[in-house]
Amino acid sequence: MAATAQSARADRAARSLCDPAASPEAKALYAFLWRIYGRNTLTGQQEGVAHRAPIELDYIQRVTGRQPAILGLDYIDPRDNAAVNERATAWHKTGGIVTLCWHWGAPDIGPGYENAKKGFDLRAALKPGSPQNIAMRRDLSRIGDLLTVLRDRNVPVLWRPLHEFSGDWFWWGKHGPDAFKALWALMFDEFTRRRGLNNLIWVAGWAGQNIDPAWHPGRDRVDIAGADLYAEDHGDLAPMFQEVKAIVGDSVPICLHENGPIPDPAGLGAQADWLWFMTWHTQWLMDPAQNASDRLKAFYGSQRYLTKDELAAAGFAAP
């Protein structure tokens, strides 16, 4: 009996968030994710920018009669960020789960997707007091302020920064794994230890073309691992899942952090136990070549996939 209790305590410790001061809401969400991992996969949808009246959720409701369990949002446009926080808050209050990414424009150039792909001297930025370091910390402060709003509203966030880091198209992936991991550690320390953003669940997202263990930030700074690949079919992406699992094992759940075509739920299982999928916005959702409406409806109605209306019955406590 004592051995069983000790094993249970060890299991709970292994499944703890990397932030020891994590909020009750973040802890509850993480515990729920572990409970369903290997049995169910959460449906997820990324929205386009809020100031252009996002259309993705309305489209999914019209086609499937349901809503995704996870809403994906992006701090990509300063004009949009206040609206992003309002949509995140509303989604949480109505029983959904929120994930946020940040297409971080090169700090010495400016925000936006195209600027995220431009050059930035990350090695110089890691030197305290350099012009690049000052610009980088200014941006971190601005995003930290936005995340503080959500913390103070008790909104837990699946925080997916520096995504597709093992690719070479965003500036944070252009300088190799050591510089990237130093940046991840700097952001983690800034947000968790200095700013007390204890509502964050840290999601590390590899680029599917290069799932290299050298890029792993470490279990002490990662709660969920993932990879993405915009495959042309609805396959289970099992080889990519297994590559991530070879790095993280059973230490954290594994998600499909972005996708085009939604994987066929019938193909998921031990070989591809994705915790969630996150379909990208606009044409990646609505183009019939990506996700035909009949397939979308069938997938959202499958037993494997959980939608927003099914979260409570699956054990996720609404606020």
Residue numbers annotated as active site = 164, 258
Let me know: does 120 contact 111? Beta carbons within 8 Å. Answer: no
Task: Answer for the pair 267, 237: CB distance below 8 angstroms, yes or no.
Answer: no
10 Å CB burial of residue 196 (0-12, 13-18, 19+) is middle
What is the C-alpha separation between 161 and 144, in angstroms, rounded?
12
